[in-house]
């Protein structure tokens, strides 16, 4: 018996030793992975390959390792617009780069301002005497806005060109909510503040339609003029007004129709396209696959060309996505997270601060939290400049009010100075199934808000007064910031959105220009000589483990083989998924815990990869779940 006990103790000791050894090996490997610094590949002589397999955004989301492990597919890649622009512009002066190639086969879109800025970078390369080539299966609005700036546009023989123009439909739920006997209580200020309309109307109001028409007409005019200027031979008007007739005239071949209308220069497969480039820049000695050519990916170029660090520091804080309370983001603008980043930089010895905004707005409380943090930098006596990207409206304009100057682009969507709140109650719904609410109240506000028994008139008045007070504060902030009398500001507020060109005429924007222009202006205002400054991006780097997962999250930049094909039907499917995603967000907003909001309906949601992906369980399951909720 004693011998058996000794054997058992020996086995337990061996087991404990093996467990300890495995733990030591695991943590050793984890430490090695976290501390590993990959060798940066050298930039080859050849082409700069920009594979836009996914969406272009202002600020990519951080990949959640847990979600990635649980997912049965890799997430769609998000490309930072600033990185794409910097690499393409850098290629113009890089003697190793003989041509710039944009692979748009898997491109899912981006904002108008980002497309314009990338197009300008392509123009710079062409002005340096270097060719710029693009290839796609489908050229839609965003991809063609880029392709128009190329010296050669290639299209897959099974592809086509489909330009639809801005605009579209919103979903309106008033009839559904009435059928479900849900009372929707709306509190708003602003004739044009249409974000509440989906819950109380079954169609767009005339003021909202008026504002949307003016906005989209301006954006569409900017688009057409930009494309025509970059590529005069493209028959963009015919492609938009008579797409079916052009295809019929080409014998039912959309690719031939695109060629005949001057939209593209050549038809060819990816292999033929690559062989053509290889003749221009040389073959790839490391890859014998059909269509290979000597190249470096744009991320490789960025790794070899870090941003300069000399001179004064111009801080840049990014506010991208819907503004929400808490720590959300990047990709969503969590008010607490961004305020903390700003506060952490108070001791960074910044010469100036640039606030880069690409947001349709959101929570008023979160917007004010960010504004207060910006004011703490301004209290240090440094210049504060706002740079607006695709969208900077409602809450996005709220946080812009501390600026010494506001930069925007003609296609920027801004304004929407108005606020609202929406709360549902279900007393009619419960009454339908025989449930009634009753009790004793000591005051008119006892037990309020009662989402099951109904709201009292006194509560309704209190809520509306709160919204009106918030709107008055919004107007005061804008009036003081823009040095504009309230009497002049009132007619251009009212929740109305404006394109950047009109906003500048109205005094809501000071200058046209992008991030570089805003930073240069801020540096000059801080007394720094031209070129004697550098960017100090205040966004924290992701932790090493997250960075490792992010590098695994999509296909290699040299190959988009695992991305979703962006042909015509994939394009339509992506639009369907985006509509379903919007519908689900509308339901979440109605049933969520949002307070007073400054958010615009007309503003296109910041492009996110998730908007183009099928909802979990399929789109029909998602629709059914929403209706059930």
Active site residues: 193, 394
Task: Provide the phi-psi class of 434: left if phi over 0, else alpha when psi is between -120 and 50, else beta.
Answer: left
SS3 content of the chain, % helix, strand, coil (to 5): 45, 20, 35
User: What residues are paired with 135 via a beta bridge?
Assistant: 103, 154
Tokens read off for 527? 């007394």
Q: Is residue 180 classed as helix, strand or coil in its secondary structure?
A: coil
Angle, vertex CA 189, rays to CA 605 and CA 463, nearest 5? 105
Closest CA to 420 of 467, 475, 361: 467
Closest CA to 532 of 314, 322, 318, 317: 314
- The answer to whether 519 and 442 have CB atoms below 8 angstroms apart is no
Q: Which residues contact 434 (CB under 8 A, 6 or more apart)?
A: none
Q: Which residues contact 596 (CB under 8 A, 6 or more apart)?
A: 363, 364, 365, 419, 420, 421, 466, 467, 470
Cα of 56 vs its chain's centroid, Å: 7
Q: Give the Cα separation of 74 and 72 in Å (integer).
A: 7
* E strand or H helix at 187: strand 183-189
How far apart, in Å, are the Cα atoms of 125 and each of 151, 258, 279, 294?
10, 25, 19, 18
Q: Give the Cα separation of 614 and 573 in Å (integer).
A: 9
Cα of 436 vs its chain's centroid, Å: 45
Tokens read off for 375? 């004011």
Tokens read off for 258? 């695109």
Question: Burial of 159 by CB count in 10 Å (0-12 exposed, 13-18 middle, 19+ buried)?
Answer: buried
How far apart, in Å, are the Cα atoms of 44 and each of 295, 296, 304, 406, 506?
6, 6, 11, 40, 49
């Amino acid at each position: 018996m004693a011998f058996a006990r000794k054997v058992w103790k020996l086995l337990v000791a061996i087991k404990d030793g093996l467990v300890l050894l495995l733990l030591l090996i695991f943590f050793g490997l984890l430490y090695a992975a976290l501390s590993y610094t990959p060798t940066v590949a050298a930039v080859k002589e050849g082409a700069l390959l920009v594979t836009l397999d996914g969406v272009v955004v202002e600020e990519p989301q951080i990949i959640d390792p847990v979600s990635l492990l649980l997912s049965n597919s890799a997430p769609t890649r998000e490309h930072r617009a600033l990185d794409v622009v910097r690499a393409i512009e850098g290629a113009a002066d890089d003697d190793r780069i003989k041509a710039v190639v944009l692979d748009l086969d898997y491109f899912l879109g981006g904002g108008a301002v980002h497309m314009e800025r990338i197009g300008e970078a392509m123009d710079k390369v062409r002005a340096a005497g270097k060719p710029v080539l693009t290839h796609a299966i489908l050229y839609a609005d965003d991809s063609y806005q880029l392709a128009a700036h190329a010296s050669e546009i290639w299209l897959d023989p099974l592809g086509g060109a489909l330009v639809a123009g801005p605009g579209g439909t919103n979903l309106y739920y008033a009839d559904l909510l009435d059928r479900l006997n849900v009372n929707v209580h709306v509190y708003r200020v602003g004739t044009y503040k249409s974000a509440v309309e989906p819950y109380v109307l079954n169609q767009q109001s005339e003021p909202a339609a008026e504002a949307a028409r003016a906005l989209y007409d301006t954006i569409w005019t900017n688009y057409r003029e930009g494309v025509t200027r970059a590529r005069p031979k493209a028959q963009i008007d015919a492609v938009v007004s008579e797409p079916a007739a052009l295809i019929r005239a080409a014998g039912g071949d959309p690719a031939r129709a695109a060629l005949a209308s001057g939209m593209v220069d050549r038809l060819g497969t990816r292999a033929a396209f690559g062989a053509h480039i290889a003749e221009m820049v040389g073959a790839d000695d490391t890859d014998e696959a059909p269509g290979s050519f000597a190249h470096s990916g744009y991320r490789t170029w960025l790794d070899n060309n870090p941003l300069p660090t000399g001179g004064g520091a111009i801080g840049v804080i990014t506010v991208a996505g819907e503004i929400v309370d808490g720590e959300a983001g990047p990709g969503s603008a969590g008010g607490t997270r961004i305020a903390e980043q700003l506060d952490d930089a108070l001791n960074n010895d910044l010469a100036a601060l640039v606030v880069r905004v690409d947001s349709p707005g959101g929570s008023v409380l979160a917007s004010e939290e960010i504004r207060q943090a910006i004011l703490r930098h301004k209290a240090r006596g440094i210049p504060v400049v706002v740079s607006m990207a695709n969208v900077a409206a409602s809450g996005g304009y709220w946080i812009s009010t501390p600026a010494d100057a506001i930069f925007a682009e003609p296609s920027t969507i801004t304004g929407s100075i108005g606020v609202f709140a929406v709360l549902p109650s279900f007393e009619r719904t419960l009454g339908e199934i025989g449930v009634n609410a009753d009790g004793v109240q000591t005051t008119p506000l006892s037990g309020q808000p009662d989402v099951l028994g109904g709201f009292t008139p006194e509560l309704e008045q209190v809520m509306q007064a709160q919204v009106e007070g918030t709107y008055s504060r919004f107007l005061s902030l804008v009036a003081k910031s823009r040095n504009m009398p309230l009497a002049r500001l009132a007619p251009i507020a009212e929740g109305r959105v404006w394109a950047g060109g009109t906003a500048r005429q109205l005094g809501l924007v000071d200058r046209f220009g992008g991030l570089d222009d805003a930073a240069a202006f801020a540096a000059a205002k801080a007394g720094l000589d031209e070129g004697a400054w550098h960017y100090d991006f205040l966004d924290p780097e992701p932790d090493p483990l997250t960075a490792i997962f992010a590098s695994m999250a999509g296909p290699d930049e040299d190959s988009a083989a695992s991305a979703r094909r962006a042909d015509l039907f994939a394009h339509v499917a992506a639009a369907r998924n985006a509509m379903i995603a919007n519908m689900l967000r509308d339901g979440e907003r109605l049933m969520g815990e949002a307070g007073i909001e400054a958010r615009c309906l007309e503003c296109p949601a910041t492009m996110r990869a998730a908007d183009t992906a099928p909802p979990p369980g399929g789109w029909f399951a998602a629709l059914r779940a929403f209706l059930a909720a």
